[in-house]
Amino acid sequence: MVILAVDLGHVRTGLAVCDAMEMMAFPVGVINEKQDTLILQKIAAAAKEKSAQLIVMGHPKNMDGSEGESAQRAQNLAVKLEQLSGIKTVLWDERCSTKAAHTFLNQSNTRGEKRKAAVDALSAVIILESYLSYRRNGGNA
């Protein structure tokens, strides 16, 4: 199944997709948009373009597991995205995905504008890889 992952941001939203066999996740771009309505339209368009059958949206919980404003926003937008796209949308715990992306980019010595463009898409890849690992281990969320 082709799955689209979303790392929702306030300025940039990263996207990643996996192959139909759910073996590998690939970055597919970044949406540079601040308005939620336009973000949702662009995610829905990307899902259609990539023939996604499922959308996984990062759920930015606090480190203690509580949910703040960003987590509530993700929940609201996930519901709206599913309605807009007609594609089942699930929330997936994204704690530490951005930190892991920054660590990877530090190790690869990626700096400046390249880094800004890469970190959100790479975070989406990390979210998707985590979700794929869960599915391979018998999860069905």
d(CA 99, CA 103) in angstroms, rounded, equals 6
pLDDT of 44-70, one tens digit each?
A: 999 999 999 999 999 987 667 777 788
SS3 88: coil
pTM for the whole thing?
0.84
Domain ranges of the chain: 3-136
CATH number of 3-136: 3.30.420.140
SS3 101: helix
pLDDT of 65-80, one tens digit each?
A: 777 788 899 999 999 9
Is 57 within 8 Å of 81 (Cβ atoms)? Answer: yes
Q: How confident is the model at residue 32 (pLDDT cuts 50, 70, 90)?
A: very high
d(CA 50, CA 44) in angstroms, rounded, equals 10
d(CA 47, CA 52) in angstroms, rounded, equals 5
The residue type found at 86 is: G
